[in-house]
Structures are given as C-alpha cells and as structure tokens.
Structure 1
Amino acid sequence: MEHNVYLLATDPKNPCRDVIHSRDTGLKVNVFCVDDEKFSANPNEIQLYAYANNKLYAFETINVTPDDALDVIDAIQWYAEYIDFPDMEILPEDPRMGQNVAM
C-alpha cells in the first residue's frame, strides 16, 4: 500500500500556524492551536480536533475535494508523528463546551 508524502509549511511569525501539504494529492490542511488563537470553522471544509502536549489543535482542510477527504486522517497522523506525539487522539467534534454546531 502506497502512502502519501506530506510536507509542512510553517509561519515563522506564528509557530501555531502550520499547513500540511500532500505531495501526491491536492490535500492541504491548516493547523490551528485553538488555545492560543481564535478558530471559526468553515462549514465548507472538514474539521478535526486533537489534544497534544496539553494543547488543543484544530485541523481544517483547504478547498477539500472528495478524493482528498479520505487522506485527512493520514495527514493528521503524519503531523502527530512530526510533533513527537504519535498517540494523539483525533476527535470528530470540537471538545470545548458550547462549540459543537449541528451540521
């Protein structure tokens, strides 16, 4: 089974704003440190959440296509390895109180 190769674009002015890029597909995922900045979910994108190193992260796709949607979990798992937190649990909903929005 082939695996995608992921690349990371980082913002030198904000260490919590990374973008995961798939080299092999069009998938791009924004990474937000929810504890450090405001995050408003885009209803047209996929959002997943995770805790790592006592921080809540939000992962949001950028212009996701149906073909790329299947690779979002793989990209987040790659990111978890990258930040040395391989056991990061990926959550389907925002775990903060009052943040869950019915879709």
Structure 2
Amino acid sequence: MENNVYLLATDPHDACRDVIHSRDTTLKVKVYCVTEEGFSPDPNEIQLYGYAGKKLYAFETINITPDDALDVISAIQWYADYIEHPEMEILPEDPRSDHSVAM
C-alpha cells in the first residue's frame, strides 16, 4: 500500500518500548532496543533487525495478518527515518553471533 501513515505509541517509562501502528491497517510492530534489554522472539510473529549507529533494534509484529505482512518493511523504514537513521539496513536475522539458530 502506497503512502501508509504510521503512528508511534511510546512508553513514558521506557524509551526502548515503542510500538508502530499503521493508521490504515491492523499492522502493529513492537520496537526493542536489543543492545539495552533482553529480547526473546515470538515464533508466531515476524522479527526483523536493524542497526541505528551502534544500537541494535529488533522489530516484532503483534498479531500479524497476511494482509499486513507486506507493510512491515515500510513501517520499519518509517521508524528509521523517525529516529534519524534513514540508512538503517533491515536484517532478516539477529546479527549477534550468539543468537544464531542452528538448523
């Protein structure tokens, strides 16, 4: 969907607990500052990662639907612009070597 509008819900007690909301769909994405807090991925959700400077973020969907799955990347790109790191590379896996999943 072109020109999605995103809103941000912030936790006044924790700067690393933002939630991105799509105004036009049901998409919601939790933001975690992985370098500052623990993160355990939910196997039923989509997780993506990205660095903003030296800070690693994890992005995890909330109750993802098939219709919203394609908008996850644009929501993360919007957030990267919001935090003034538009160059953020969005990664499909946790880049920390000790969090690799062995297959």
The corresponding residue for 2:22 is: 22
2:82 is the alignment partner of 1:93: no
2:4 is the alignment partner of 1:4: yes
> TM-score, normalised on structure 1?
0.95
> What SS does the aligned partner of 1:25 have?
coil
Q: Which segments of 5 or more consecutive residues in structure 1 lack a partner in the other structure? A: none
The CA RMSD measured in Å over matched residues stands at: 1.3
**What number of residue pairs does the alignment pair up?**
103
Distance in 2 between residues matched to 1:73 and 1:85, nearest whole Å: 15
> What SS does the aligned partner of 1:98 have?
helix
Q: What aligned pairs does 1:1-103 form with structure 2 within 5 A after superposition?
A: 2-101=2-101
- Partner amino acid for 2:97? M
- Partner amino acid for 1:65? T
User: Deviation digits for residues 39-70 of structure 1, max 9, x if unmatched?
Assistant: 00000000000000210000000000000000
- Report the Cα offset of residue 97 of structure 1: 1.1
